[in-house]
Amino acid sequence: MSERDRNHLWGGRFAASPAEAFENLNASIPFDVRLAPYDIEGSIAHARMLGERGIVSGGESEELVRGLNAVLKQVEAGRFEWTLADEDVHTAVERRLREIVGDVALKLHTGRSRNDQVALDLHLFVRDAAGKIRDGLLETMRALIEVADGHRDLILPGYTHLQRAQPILLSHHLLAHFWSFARDLKRLDAAREAANVSPLGAAALGGTPHPVDPVLTAGTLGMLPLVNSLDAVSERDFALDLLYACAVLGVHLSRLGEEWVLWTSSEFGFARLDDAYSSGSSIMPQKKNPDAYELMRGKAGRLIGNLNALLVTLKGLPLGYSKDLQEDKEPLFDSVDAILAVLAVLPEMLRTASFDGARMSNASGGFALATELADFLASRGTPFREAHRAVGELVRRCEEEGISLEEAVPEKLSSIHPAFAGLPRDLLTPAGSVANKKSSGSTSPGSVEEQLRGARDFLSR
Ligand code: ARG
C-alpha cells in the first residue's frame, strides 16, 4: 500500500487502494473545494470549542486554529492545492493542516464526523449566498425605483392575452416587478434563517461521547445549535429553501426578461438597450440583440430543474447520511451562480436603457380606451353589461370604418348612447385614462406616487 493510501482518511479498514474509476465517481473535491472557506470557519469554531472543553489542550487548540488560518490564507490567495485522492474538501483541508502543524491535526476531528461537518459547511454557504443574492436583488429594486421615478409621465399599453388592454404608466409596470422582488426577499430571508442552525455536535448521526459544546460552536458561528442529531445530519431543507427562492426569483426575472425582449423588438419598439448590454450578430450587421434578457429567461429552466433535482434526491432517503447527499451541492452552486450572474447585470442594464415615449403612448391603439367608455356610461347610471354591449358595438363600427375610438365624432358616440353627450374628451386619451383610475393600487399617477413612497420606505427598512 502506498504512502498516499495509508494517509487516506478511512484507509485503516482497507487493504487495497480504490479503483481509479471509483475514485473519480466518489470524489466531490472538484466541486466542493469552493466550500473550503466555510469548512475552515467551521473547523476553527470546533477547534476553539475542543480547547475550551479540555478535549484537547489549550496549546493544541491554538495550534489547530493557527494552522487553519494558514490554510485559509492559501485558499484566499488561490494557492490551495488538492488532488482527487483528497476525496473531498474536508479531507483536503485536514491534509493541508497536518502538513502545516504536524500530527496535532489528527486531533481536530475529535467529536465530529464529516456528516455534521459537511452539513455545517452547506449551512454556512447557504447563509452567505442568501445574503449575496439579497444584496443583488436590493440593488435591482433600487434601479427599478430610479427608472420608475425618472419616467413618471410615460404611458404604455397594458396587455392581457398579449392584446392591448388598457393604458398604464410605465412606472406602474416597473413597480409591479418591484413588488414581486419584495416577496422574493422574504423567501431569501426564510432560507437564510433556516440555514442559520449549526449541525455540529451531531457527529455521524447520534452524537458523540466527547463533552463537546454545540451551543458554544453555534454561538461562535452566529448560529443556533442543533436540536436533534439525526435530523441535523439528514435534512437539507435550508438548501431546498434557497433553491426554491432562486427558482421563484428566476421565474420573476424570466418574465421581466421576456417583456424586455418584446419591448426592444422592432415590432414593439418601446425600449432600447445601451450598447454595453446588447450583442450583435455574426452575419446580420444591423442586429442588436437583448441576449442578457434572453439568458435571464433561459436560466429559469435550470433554476427550476435544480430545485427539482434536490427534491428528488432527497425523497427516497432514509434518515442518516447517505452518499446521495453529496449530490446536493452542484444544483445549489449552479442556482446561486446563475442568479448572481444575472443580478450583477440587471440594475445597470435597467438604468442605462432608454424608452421611446411616442411608440409607447400610442397606447390607445387597438381600442385600449374602450373600457374607459364603458366605465363612463356605467358611472352615468347605465348598467355595466349594457354599457359593455354599447361600446362593443361602437368598436365594431369604428373597425368597419377603419377609424379609432378617438376619431369617432361626438355625434356618433351619442347615437350609440345618449349619455355619451357629456363625455369629457380627454378621457379618451392615454393620460386621461390613467388619471381616471380611482382604486388604490391602480395605475393613476397619485396611486403610483404612493407606491413609489411605499417602495422607498420598504428599502429603507
Ligand atoms: N463529500 C461528502 C458529501 O459531500 C462529505 C460527507 C462524507 N460523509 C460520509 N459519511 N462519507 O456529502
CB 387 within 8 A of CB 394: no
Q: How far is the CA of 324 from the centre of ligand 1 (A)?
A: 9
Minimal CA–CA distance to 119: which of 50, 10, 197, 64?
197
Which residue's alpha carbon is nearest to atom 10 within ligand 1? 115
CATH of 115-200+223-356, one of 1.10.274.50, 1.20.200.10, 2.60.120.330, 3.40.50.300: 1.20.200.10
Q: Relative to the CA of 88, which ligand 1 atom is closest?
A: 1
Choosing from 13, 84, 88, 333 the residue with most ligand 1 atoms within 8 A of its CB, the one to mutate for a pocket test is 88
CATH topology match: 115-200+223-356 vs 363-448: no
Q: What is the DSSP string of 264-287?
A: TSTTT--EE--GGG-B--SS-TT-
User: What pLDDT, on the 0 to 100 scale, is given for residue 10?
Assistant: 66
Torsion of CA 238, 243, 245, 250, to 10 degrees: 170
How distant, in Å, are the alpha carbons of 33, 50, 59, 112, 216 from that of 66? 21, 14, 10, 19, 19
Whole-model pTM?
Answer: 0.94
Q: Is 281 a catalytic residue?
A: yes
Phi-psi region of 308 (alpha: psi -120 to 50; beta: other; left: phi over 0): alpha
Phi and psi torsions of 164, nearest 5° = -55, 130
pLDDT in tens, the chain (461 residues): 455 555 566 667 888 888 999 999 999 999 999 999 999 999 999 999 999 999 999 999 999 999 999 999 999 999 999 999 999 999 999 999 999 999 999 999 999 999 999 999 999 999 999 999 999 999 999 999 999 999 999 999 999 999 999 999 999 999 999 999 999 999 999 999 999 999 999 999 999 999 999 999 999 999 999 999 999 999 999 999 999 999 999 999 999 999 999 999 999 999 999 999 998 878 777 878 999 999 999 999 999 999 999 999 999 999 999 999 999 999 999 999 999 999 999 999 999 999 999 999 886 677 888 888 899 889 999 999 999 998 898 889 888 988 888 787 666 777 778 888 888 878 888 999 999 999 999 999 999 999 999 999 999 98
- How far apart are the C-alpha atoms of 372 and 51, rounded to whole Å? 75
Is the CB of 33 inside a 6 Å radius of any atom of ligand 1? Answer: no
User: What pLDDT, on the 0 to 100 scale, is given for residue 2?
Assistant: 55
Minimal CA–CA distance to 214: which of 64, 49, 41?
49
Paired with 271 in beta bridges are 355
Which residue's alpha carbon is nearest to atom 7 within ligand 1? 114
Residue of 281, 354, 379, 415 marked catalytic: 281
Q: Relative to the CA of 204, which ligand 1 atom is closest?
A: 10
Is the CB of 88 inside a 6 Å radius of any atom of ligand 1? Answer: yes
- How far apart are the C-alpha atoms of 317 and 26, rounded to whole Å? 18
Which residue's alpha carbon is nearest to atom 3 within ligand 1? 326
Q: How far is the CA of 40 from the centre of ligand 1 (A)?
A: 16
Domain 363-448 has CATH 3.30.420.40: no
Is the CB of 325 inside a 6 Å radius of any atom of ligand 1? Answer: yes
Q: Relative to the CA of 329, which ligand 1 atom is closest?
A: 4
Q: Could you tell me the residue ranges of all domains in the chain?
A: 3-110, 115-200+223-356, 363-448
- How far apart are the C-alpha atoms of 210 and 203, rounded to whole Å? 10
CB 398 within 8 A of CB 405: yes
Minimal CA–CA distance to 409: which of 427, 396, 421?
421
Is the CB of 115 inside a 6 Å radius of any atom of ligand 1? Answer: yes
User: What pLDDT, on the 0 to 100 scale, is given for residue 253?
Assistant: 98
User: What pLDDT, on the 0 to 100 scale, is given for residue 1?
Assistant: 47
Q: How far is the CA of 59 from the centre of ligand 1 (A)?
A: 30
Q: How far is the CA of 254 from the centre of ligand 1 (A)?
A: 35
Phi and psi torsions of 450, nearest 5° = -60, -40
- How far apart are the C-alpha atoms of 144 and 323, rounded to whole Å? 44
- How far apart are the C-alpha atoms of 298 and 4, rounded to whole Å? 44
Is the CB of 321 inside a 6 Å radius of any atom of ligand 1? Answer: yes
Q: How far is the CA of 116 from the centre of ligand 1 (A)?
A: 9
User: What pLDDT, on the 0 to 100 scale, is given for residue 15?
Assistant: 84
Is the CB of 118 inside a 6 Å radius of any atom of ligand 1? Answer: yes
Q: How far is the CA of 6 from the centre of ligand 1 (A)?
A: 19
Q: How far is the CA of 114 from the centre of ligand 1 (A)?
A: 6
Is the CB of 451 inside a 6 Å radius of any atom of ligand 1? Answer: no
Q: Exposed, middle or buried: residue 272 (CB in 10 Å: 0-12, 13-18, 19+)? A: middle
CB 70 within 8 A of CB 233: no
Range 3-110: architecture per CATH: Orthogonal Bundle (1.10)
- How far apart are the C-alpha atoms of 118 and 274, rounded to whole Å? 44
Is the CB of 326 inside a 6 Å radius of any atom of ligand 1? Answer: yes
Q: Which residue has the cell 494552522?
A: 67
Q: Relative to the CA of 325, which ligand 1 atom is closest?
A: 12
How distant, in Å, are the alpha carbons of 86, 191, 218, 232, 416 from that of 194? 30, 5, 14, 12, 62
- How far apart are the C-alpha atoms of 240 and 21, rounded to whole Å? 30
Which residues fall within 8 angstroms of residue 428, CB to CB, at 6 or more apart? 364, 369, 372, 373, 405, 406
Helix (H) or strand (E) holding 349, with range, is helix 329-352
Q: Relative to the CA of 87, which ligand 1 atom is closest?
A: 1
Which residues fall within 8 angstroms of residue 153, CB to CB, at 6 or more apart? 357
